[in-house]
Structure formats: C-alpha cells, structure tokens
Structure 1
Amino acid sequence: MATAESELDSPYAELLDRRKRISNVQNAGMVLYWDQQTKMPEGGTPARAKQLGALQSIGHELLTDERTGELLEALEAEELDDEQAAVVREVRREYDRAVAIPNDLVERISETSSESQPAWREAKAEDEFETFAPYLDRLRDLHIELAEHVDPEEDPYVVMFEESEPYLPLSRVEEIFDELREGLIPLIEDVHENGADIADDAFAGTFDPEDQEVLCRDALDLLNYDWDRGRFDTAPHPFMSGTQFDARVTTRYHDHDFVDPLTATIHEFGHATYQLGLRDDAYGTPLGEPRSSGIHESQSRFWENHVGRTKEFWELFLPTVTERFPEFEDVTAEEAYEAANQVFTDNMIRVEADELTYHMHIILRSEIEQEFVAGDLDVDDIPARWNELMEEYLGIVPETDSEGCLQDIHWTSGFASFQNYTVGSVLAAQLWATIEEEIEDPEKLIREGNFTPIREWLTENIHEQGQKYTTDELIEEATGEPLTAEYFLDYVTEKYGDIYELD
C-alpha cells in the first residue's frame, strides 16, 4: 500500500483488516464455484449450494456489521491520501449497498444460483427449457427483491447493472448500443451481400479433444501464461476464476472446430492476465481487485481479438498448428487469418460469434433481460422472443433452445451483465489505439512473439490501478478520453473491409 499501516489512524487499519477478511471469504467461495464447474461430481450440488450460501452469508455479515459502519463514519473526518480515499470510497459503496439487503436474501440467492446450474446443464443437454424455467423465474424474483432493497426508487434492472458496473451509467451503454446498431448492421449486410470469397473452410476437419487441449496449452505457453499461478481445465461454459496469486483458465472443445476453443482460451487468458497483474501487496483490498466487469472484459476481448485474431499472430502460431495438425501444412497465414475472422451467416452461439455479429447477440440478450425483469415477458415466452430477435438482428432462427436461449449459463448468476462484453470490446479497441501511439510497432511485437511490452503497458495502465479510479476515470487515465465506440467501429470497418475486399 502507498502508506504503511503503522502510519495510519487505527480506524483505517481496522477497516483494511476487515475488508481483507471479507475478500478471503469471497475468494474461498470462488474456489468452490470453480470446483463445481470443473471437478465436482454432479451429486455434490445440494451440499455445494449450502456451502456457497453460507460463505455468502458470512461475507455479508462481516461487511454489514455495525462496526464497519462506525469505521467508515470515523474516516469521513480523516485526511487520507488518494489510495486510502479510494479504499474508503469502495468499501462505503459496498457497505451502503449491502446493508440494505437482508442476510437471508443473500443466502437464498446464492443457494438458488447453485441449484440452478445443474438444472441449466440438464435443460441444455436435453433441449428442455421447461427444466430450467422455474429456476430462472425464481432467480428473477429474488434479484428484483434485492434491487428493491438497495434502491426502491430506481428501475430494478438499473440497480442490477450497477452491481457489476457501478460507475458507467446504463444509459451511456445503451447509447453505445445505438451507435453499434447503426454501424454494424449495414457492415454485416455489406459483408454478406458484397464480400469476396475467403478461406472460411481452411481448417475444416474433425479434431480430437486431447489434441485441441495440447494446442490450447501451446497458445498459453506462447503468451507466457504463469503456470505457477494458474491451471487449465474444461468447463461447460468457458470462464476464468482467481486472484493475483491463482488465476485459473477453462475452455471447451468441439469435434469440428479447434479455432473456437483456441480463441476462447486466449479470451480467458486475457481475464487471467488482468487478475495476475493486480498488485500483490494490495491483495484483499479494493486496490488489489479488478475495477469492474466491463474493464475485465476489455482485457479478455483485447487478447482474443487484437492479439489472437490478428494476421501477425497467425503468422507466428500457424507452424504450431500444423505441427499438431499436419493436415493443414498447406494452409497459409493469410488463409488462417481469414478463417479465424470469417463473418458467419448462420452462427447461433454467442461465444463462437465473429467480432461483428457478436454484438447483436449481446443486444438481443439485454433486451430480453430488460423485458423479463420489467414483467413484460413471461418466462415461458423467452424461447419464442429469443428466436424472434435472432431473426430480426441476425436473420437466423435456432432449431433448438439449446442453441438458443439455453446456450449461456449467465442467468444462473443474475441479470444485467451481458452488456459488459460489448463495453469490453469497445474499450479494447480504444486501448489498442492508444497502444499504437505509445508502443512502437505493436504488430511487429506480436509477429515476433514478444508480448511483454504490450502486457506491461496494460498492467501499468489498467491492472495495477485496481479500483483506485472509478470506471470513467480509469478509461480517461489510460486512453486520454472517455469511453467511445468510435475506435471500435473504425477498427472493424477497416479490418473487415480489407478481409472481404469491400469498397
């Protein structure tokens, strides 16, 4: 920390110690969640739900304890440096929100979330939305109840969004969505109607999951993933879980596609890089924790798209691909680049979508969530509404709910978080534009496999800042201007115009 605890007034030192204990309880729950998604036998769900619920309850009790409030009040009269003030600001925000929520509601939400996950997996596997629907309905009601406790005067959906992105107004995100609709829909149509033929089948084939795992590990090695502080596993839905001391990556495999598991792995590597770049000396405090979900997604989308989908990366990595899959020894780096960036005409799955259609997936989910939370859409009508918006935005209709409204696990954890994937993509492009100005020839660095300068820039400007700044402040500190969709739209227009030879 910037100032030794011995030099601090006792209320701050005590608050810091209390916050660290709360963080440790939360991080223990994170390890249990990781185990539930990767290793736990299916029959363990009833006990795991209770375990996670208990940890959530303990953390909530520590945070909302009367002593926490007394310490915060005492610190209002103290002279604090910038880092101390940031810690107090963040704990105050957490406290004010949590103290309004009954402890039993926190426990009920955690238990219902854990119980809903195997129901979602079964519903997806069996293509039976009705298996998951009762849990989804219950979760909606519980999260609305929570939002009404936090701020009974505000739209519950806005309150939900503020949980993961507290300093970026939902109204600003919706303005960005409007800009993306205006810019992306014509570009997607132009690609489909006028785009040149590209090597979209360059990597056609059938692939053993074990071979795909080896290739993904090769990519993690190439990107300098810290195996001493991480591991790599499979999960029904790719995710990263961890801290600056232990950031674990997962992916999933497909019989007929190794590119998607590869880019998903690089995506989760981006999340892990953020976690591992947080300050070790600030562990357990807001200064050693990620700023927000949107900022986190900017790191994963940065590494997935601005590194892993570049021509330079495929020039570097293609020899490794052909070593693992010799049948592709005649594929050129240009063809590999095109295959990794094809704009799909019929892609149903968000996590497998290209950089253009991806955001239509996000926008339709956000609209459905808002209608569902507002009570304008019954749970049983979600599949039909999903298909309706898929046809409107992407011109396709899923044949099953498994590849439609059941494809993502996210609703088992709550609502109003999908927006952050698009926030992350937009910010990633803005960060890349800044890096191009501040680092000499970053494309050359990627081609050479020298990722250190790029990672160090991100660590210095994003990771090590923790929660010192609010979201909007952090973006301006890093890039010199507020969040804007301009760089993303310029980036995809130039990139895909070049790939598809558009006028």
Structure 2
Amino acid sequence: MATEAATENATYEEFLQKVKRISNVQNAAGILGWDQEVMMPEGGTPARSQQRSALSAIAHDLLTDDEMGDYLDDLESRELDDEQAAVVREVRRDYERATRVPGELVEEISRTTSEALPKWKEAKAEDDFSIFAPTLEKLVEQKREYAEHIDPDSDPYEVLFADYEPYLGIETAEETLARLRDELVPLIESVRESDVELATPFEGTYDTETQEELSRDVLDTLGYDWNRGRLDTAPHPFSSGTTFDARVTTRFDEEDPLGALMSTIHEFGHATYTQGLPDEHYGTPLGQSRDLTAHESQSRIWENHVGRSRAFWERFLPAVKERFPDAEGASVEDVYEAANRVYEDNLIRVEADELTYHMHIVVRFEIEKALIRGEIEVEDVAELWNDKYEEYLGIRPDTDAEGCLQDIHWSHGSFGYFPTYSLGSVLAAQLYDSAEEDIPDLEEQIREGEFDDFHNWLTANVHRYGCLYTTDELIEQATGEEFTADYFVEYVNEKYGALYDL
C-alpha cells in the first residue's frame, strides 16, 4: 500500500516538473515579448520573431508529447486532493486544445505576431490602416485555422474567446455587454444633456520626467513591491510577469497628467494580483492568475474604485501639488470631478472615462466577432469602426490612429480578449461591494493611505487561489454570489447620477 502511494506521488511530482518546465519556457517568451515592446532596438525584430517562435514551438512540443498525455491519463484514474485535481484539470484543458493544433501553425502565429508589432506601430505612426491590413488579414486567417483545429463544430470566435475566459462562456460575455450597452448609452446621453460642468484643474503642460516621479509616488502609496517589479514606458501600457517579477508600464501625455496616473494605477492592479500569487506554486496553475476576467477585475478595482474615489484623492493630492506646484489651487473635489469627468469627444479607449470606456469594448467586440466569423473583410474594418463609434458614442474618428489602430491587441493575434475588459469591470464592482462588507471602514483606510487590509482581502479571496477554482467558482467563493452586472450598474448610476445631478 505504501509503495503504491509512493508511486502515485512520484508520478504526480514528475508530471509537475514537466508542467513547470513548460511554464518556464512560456515565461521566458513573455520576457522577450516585454523587451520587444519596451526596450528592444527597432532593428531587432527579425531575430526576435525567430526566438519567440522557437520558444512557442518548444512549449507546444512539451505540452503535446505522448508523455504528457500518459501522465494525465494516469493521474485522472487516481484519487487526488483538491489542489492536484485542479492542476490536472487546467493542464488537461491546455493539453487537449494544444494537441489539436499543429506545431507548425503555432510557430507561424508566433512569428506573425512578432512581425505584426512593428507593422502596427508603423501604421499607427503613419495614420494608415493599409500598412497593417495585410498582416491583420494573415493573423485572422491563422486564428480561424487555429479555432478550426480546436473545435471545427463551434463558432470560431467562441473558441478564441475561451483562450482568455474559459469558464464564464461567450453567452455571459454577450449578455453582459448587451446589458452595458443598453444601460450605459442612455446614461451617457443623460450626462451629455446635464447642465453640470465638472472641474478641469489640470490645464497646461506637465513634463514627463515629473509625471514619472509622480507615477512612482502612486505605486509607493498603493504598496507596489519594487523588489519584484519595475516601471517603464510603452506605446500601449501593459503589465506582465510572474509572482517574482511583475512589471508595469505606462505612458505620458504632457497635457494629461491624470491619464498617466490612472494608467499606472490600472497596471498596478494587474501587477499586485501577479505578485499576490502563491510563491510556492510558481510554475504551476496554482501559481498562475485565474484568467483575464479575474485579472481585469483587479486592475479596474484599483483604478476605478480606489484611484477615482474622493478618499484616494484626499490622500494623494498633496503628492501631486508637491510635484507640480502649479496645481496648488486644485481641491480634492476638483480632482475627483476631473478623474470622473465623462468626455463627449474621447476617441481613445485607454484615455476613456469609466462610462464611455465600455462602448469602446462593445465596438471592437462586435467588429472582431464579425471578422473572425467571416461576416466582414479586413478592408471593411476602418469604416465600420468609425460607423459604430458614431452610432454608440456620437463621435467619428478622423484618423485611423484614433480609430481601429488605437489598441495593440490585434497585432498580438488577441481576438477574444476584449470582452474581458468589461467582464472584469463588472466583477470589480461585485468584489468591491463584498470587500466593503468585510472591511466596514475601507473608505476611511483609503483616505488614510492604509491599504494593507484591502490588499489582504484581495489576496485572501482572489490572488492566493491561483487556478484552484474555475472562474464562476472563484466569484462565488469571494462574493457568495454568481457573477452579476447588478453591482456595476447600481454603482455607475449612483456615482454619475450624483456627479451630474441626474
């Protein structure tokens, strides 16, 4: 009996070592991706595309070899504890999807995405979608082929969406986004019809060097672990890494210091989730974030429920005034209003206010669904994008750079990613409501710059579990309820009703 138990344990430990090897290859590829977006010289693309392609192929080969299949078959026939069963469940899912996709296609997609990044940058700089369009067409074809291999009988967009949110389902995404569109479009219209004019205290120019110092101040205030992270700039802000190395990037606009601060806080939310994952499970699903809905909930809870609150600005406004003496006359209420102002003419998602933000998501969601399903062609994208902005937001982009080229995601081949931004925002409101129940003086703690209890609550209810639970299980574990948009809808109606006297 003891020998059989030892054999079982040995099998699981051998399996786990293989899983960790795959994870380390993928994490190394992630660092190369970070470098390409942040520090790599422009001429490095030909070599970098080959390097990332090779690592993608190695990870794919390790995941799909016969030995991995044998481990999974063997372990699924044994009695496992909850943590072991969760690891096997997550690896089985990855294995089944990966074994259906030829390694050659995985390499092709990796190579194309590496080559797509400079094309997207060039197209955006030149304000010319036609520069990026041929690469986008290639990526769409490759991702359709990828989805076809995984499940030829399913909607290809649903297959791609499951790469980013495997458990809530495309129906939940469609229902949630439809509800946000139906609830927010009239709310945005009411805001526009309001006679209330919110304050705009930051007028003029604010040098980027001092803005960077202020971004470091805000990361210090919120509790970023610099020993396991760093701050850099990138054309499109992002966060990446592992529990031991969770990096953030931001970008600066001399006329919009609040934009950089909100971006930094947003990416901090991602990084603090990553840093909060259990060290002892690094390299396994138990040491990885649940999925992008969960990840986006962490960035949005810090950006919107903390960073855009009055309580936060009571704490942080003195730091702004210290860095920028020209802001001396700004009051807490002024900055609170500025941080929550709804802009009628904002065309850029990452600069959008909390309400119109979701219309940006809806537009890309509807377009990329149609693109992957073959209902429209790549050549239709720019015009259709502009039409939908006019329909949902009442504004029409004048340039491709402000329109369909504004976000980097399609150059990554990330079709199906975008709905998780809104799903994450909805979950953030649900989580914050639960946190307030458990931490009755949470607002006062934010006002005092004391974030330990909130960090600990998020770690205890979200971060520490890694992928132990499925998304729906994690949400119920943290909040006692199923995923719902009710809290978000109530939150925005109450907040913006008060701001705009609706």
Q: Deviations over 1:217-261 (max 9, x none)?
A: 110011111110000000010000110000000001112101011
Q: Deviations over 1:19-66 (max 9, x none)?
A: 000000000001101110110000000100000000000000000010
- Within 5 Å, give how 1:32-431 maps onto structure 2: 32-199=32-199, 201-414=200-413, 415-431=415-431
Q: Deviations over 1:367-402 (max 9, x none)?
A: 000111111211111110000000000000011000
CA deviation after TM superposition for structure 1 residue 207, in Å: 1.4
Which amino acid in 2 is paired with 1:153? D
CA deviation after TM superposition for structure 1 residue 13, in Å: 1.2
CA deviation after TM superposition for structure 1 residue 173, in Å: 1.1
More deviation, 300-309/172-181: 172-181
Q: TM-score, normalised by structure 1?
A: 0.98
CA deviation after TM superposition for structure 1 residue 198, in Å: 1.3
Q: CA 1:463 to 1:219, structure 2 compared with 1: closer, same or farther past 3 Å?
A: same
Which amino acid in 1 is paired with 2:239? M
The separation in 2 between residues aligned to 1:178 and 1:241, in whole angstroms, is 30
Which amino acid in 1 is paired with 2:269? G
Which amino acid in 1 is paired with 2:315? L
CA deviation after TM superposition for structure 1 residue 455, in Å: 0.7
Structure 2 unaligned residues grouped into runs of 5+: none
CA deviation after TM superposition for structure 1 residue 9, in Å: 2.4
Q: CA 1:118 to 1:490, structure 2 compared with 1: closer, same or farther past 3 Å?
A: same
Percent same amino acid at aligned positions?
59
Which amino acid in 2 is paired with 1:304? E
Which amino acid in 1 is paired with 2:318? P
The separation in 1 between residues aligned to 2:454 and 2:474, in whole angstroms, is 18
Which amino acid in 1 is paired with 2:261? L
The separation in 2 between residues aligned to 1:105 and 1:372, in whole angstroms, is 20
Which amino acid in 2 is paired with 1:336? V
The separation in 2 between residues aligned to 1:67 and 1:394, in whole angstroms, is 53
The separation in 1 between residues aligned to 2:238 and 2:8, in whole angstroms, is 38
Q: Deviations over 1:437-484 (max 9, x none)?
A: 111211101000001100110001100000000010000110111111
The separation in 1 between residues aligned to 2:380 and 2:178, in whole angstroms, is 25
Q: Deviations over 1:338-379 (max 9, x none)?
A: 001100100000011111000000001000001111112111
Q: Deviations over 1:55-84 (max 9, x none)?
A: 000000000010000011111211001111
The separation in 2 between residues aligned to 1:389 and 1:76, in whole angstroms, is 48
CA deviation after TM superposition for structure 1 residue 317, in Å: 0.5
Q: Secondary structure at the match of 1:9?
A: helix
Structure 1 unaligned residues grouped into runs of 5+: none
CA deviation after TM superposition for structure 1 residue 10, in Å: 2.2
Q: Secondary structure at the match of 2:163?
A: helix
Structure 1 runs of 4+ with >6 Å offset: none
Which amino acid in 2 is paired with 1:476? E
Q: Deviations over 1:393-430 (max 9, x none)?
A: 00000110001000000001220110000000000000
Q: CA 1:479 to 1:195, structure 2 compared with 1: closer, same or farther past 3 Å?
A: farther
Q: Secondary structure at the match of 2:248?
A: strand
Q: Secondary structure at the match of 1:501?
A: coil
The separation in 1 between residues aligned to 2:9 and 2:310, in whole angstroms, is 54
Q: Deviations over 1:235-291 (max 9, x none)?
A: 010000110000000001112101011100000000000000000000000000000
CA deviation after TM superposition for structure 1 residue 195, in Å: 4.5
The separation in 1 between residues aligned to 2:253 and 2:53, in whole angstroms, is 34
Match of 1:495 in 2: 495
